[in-house]
């Protein structure tokens, strides 16, 4: 009995280490200026990973993962510390709750929830960083850069879905 409990703890720890490794790899991909660059547009790997993961985990771990991913996104984007962390916490809670209560876990639902959350978060960032300061050419930036970035990020969610599904199964016992 004790052996089974220790084995389960070890597997759960391994799962969370895999999640931390995924977060580190996504941070490196997001801050890399060369990889996955298509005409100056790069996907947002951190929010993609934490939103996909939120669909597989319970609400509390999803919120924590979203907070850490949001803090890393704050650091990598040179924004006010905590803005993306708060936004990602709310989005991860929403995605986790809605997939546990209403939606099935499918690639399509993952892409649609990621699309909606990214439009919300990047829209708020655009509002507070560009619109409120009446910066010239801000509309061109939104249409020419932010919308393609969001679409590219949704496409980047597709390979993350089976990876997070596989990591989620580590340490789970089916009764």
Residue 67 covered by a domain: yes
Residue 20 covered by a domain: yes
Structure token digits, residue 125:
């960032």
Residue 151 covered by a domain: yes
Confidence class for position 139, pLDDT limits 50, 70, 90: confident
Answer yes or no: are the C-beta atoms of 76 and 30 closer than 8 Å. Answer: yes
Burial class, 170, CB count within 10 angstroms (exposed 0-12 / middle 13-18 / buried 19+): middle
DSSP one-letter code for 135: -
Confidence class for position 16, pLDDT limits 50, 70, 90: confident
Confidence class for position 169, pLDDT limits 50, 70, 90: confident
Q: What's the pLDDT tens digit per position in 88-102?
A: 999 999 999 999 999
pTM for the structure as a whole: 0.86
Judge whether residue 173 has pLDDT over 60.
no
Answer yes or no: are the C-beta atoms of 23 and 65 closer than 8 Å. Answer: yes
Measure the N-to-C terminal CA separation of the chain; round to a whole number of Å. Answer: 16
- Residue with more model confidence, 131 or 52: 52
Residue 65 covered by a domain: yes
Q: How many domains does the chain have?
A: 1
Residue 70 covered by a domain: yes
Measured between alpha carbons, how far is 71 from 88 in angstroms, rounded to an integer? Answer: 9
Residue 141 covered by a domain: yes
Measured between alpha carbons, how far is 122 from 142 in angstroms, rounded to an integer? Answer: 9
Residue 173 covered by a domain: no
CATH number of the domain bearing residue 141? 1.10.1760
**Residue 41, domain extent:** 2-168
In order of 13, 58, 71, 140, 174, the CA distances from 44 in angstroms are 27, 23, 14, 20, 34
Residue 175 covered by a domain: no
**DSSP assignment string, 62-83:** HHHHHHHHHHHHHHHHT--TTH
pLDDT of residue 137: 81
pLDDT of residue 171: 64
Confidence class for position 175, pLDDT limits 50, 70, 90: very low
Output the average pLDDT for the chain: 88
Q: Which of 4-18, 29-43, 100-114 reaches the highest mean pLDDT?
A: 100-114
């Amino acid at each position: 009995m004790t052996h089974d409990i220790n084995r389960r703890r070890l597997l759960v720890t391994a799962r969370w280490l895999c999640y931390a490794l995924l977060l580190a790899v996504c941070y490196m991909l997001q801050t890399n200026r060369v990889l996955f660059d298509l005409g100056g547009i790069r996907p947002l790997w951190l929010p993609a990973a934490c939103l996909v993961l939120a669909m597989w985990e319970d609400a509390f771990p999803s919120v924590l993962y979203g907070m850490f991913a949001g803090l890393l996104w704050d650091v990598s984007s040179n924004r006010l510390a905590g803005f993306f962390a708060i936004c990602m916490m709310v989005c991860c809670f929403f995605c986790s709750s809605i997939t546990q209560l209403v939606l099935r876990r499918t690639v399509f639902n993952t892409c649609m929830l990621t699309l909606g959350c990214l439009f919300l978060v990047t829209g708020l960032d655009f509002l507070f960083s560009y619109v409120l300061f009446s910066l010239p050419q801000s509309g061109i930036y939104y249409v020419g850069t932010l919308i393609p970035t969001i679409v590219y990020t949704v496409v980047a969610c597709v390979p993350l879905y089976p990876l997070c599904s596989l990591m989620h199964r580590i340490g789970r016992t089916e009764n």
